[in-house]
Amino acid sequence: MKLNTKDMILSAIFAALAVVGAKVSIPIPPVPVTLQLFVCCFAGILLGARLGLISQIVYILIGLLGLPVFAGTSAGPAYILSPTFGYVIGFALASYVTGKVSENSSKFNIKTALISVYSGIFTTYLIGVPYLYFIIKLYMGKNITIMYAIEKGLLPFIVKDVLLGIIVALTAAAAVPALIRSGVYKKTT
């Protein structure tokens, strides 16, 4: 996979924005409220599936190498055993899914943006909630149910993420056509 300088810079910018999104955090155990999903959805729409995913993989690798980029102060390879690491994987996949859905649409508009963003959000929870459950139950040895994982890792975030989806979709629906007209964004409308 070959990346040009522009692709590397854009990917690095969105990796850095993911760090900022993680640090804007409200600590609610076991899953803090952050803006990472907001950044991931924008990465997918604005960079596309491939570069959106790359930007989030860079973010994950930086954290696994030991820099404290994840929510809270955790970092390093041991973070894989954190109940919230599934969401971090989900964020990367969300950027890919969001980008892929928007890339595969024949016309980019508010409807496309909403479908793209909510597909990415769904992907995050599809990975994050089961990961939370399995780490807490199997690794930490606590007797929890899948309903507990849903109550702690999904339900408190639904309203925030519905609003987040609307904000991202409205912003993207306004920004993407302007970026296309300027020649920065290569997509047909």
Q: DSSP of 15-48, one letter per residue?
A: HHHHHHHHHS-B--TTS-B-SHHHHHHHHHHHH-
Q: Domain boundaries in the chain?
A: 7-182
Closest alpha carbon to 59 in 98, 103, 101, 13: 13
Architecture of the domain spanning 7-182: Orthogonal Bundle (1.10)
Cα–Cα dist 179/25, whole Å: 30
Q: How far apart are CA 126 and CA 142, in angstroms?
A: 21
- Residue 73 half-sphere exposure, CB side, CA atoms within 13 Å? 0
What predicted TM-score, i.e. pTM, was given to this entire model? 0.90
Check residue 30 and give its pLDDT.
Answer: 74
Tell me what the mean pLDDT of segment 18-25 comes to: 90
pLDDT in tens, 102-160: 988 888 889 999 999 999 999 999 999 999 999 999 999 999 999 999 999 999 999 98
Q: What does the block give as tokens for 167?
A: 């904000």
- Checking if the pLDDT of 58 tops 80, the result is yes
DSSP letter at 139 equals I
pLDDT of the residue at 26: 82
Tell me how many degrees the CA angle 102-39-179 measures, rounded to the nearest 5. Answer: 50
Percent of the chain with pLDDT over 70: 97
User: Average pLDDT for residues 168-175, to the nearest whole number?
Assistant: 92
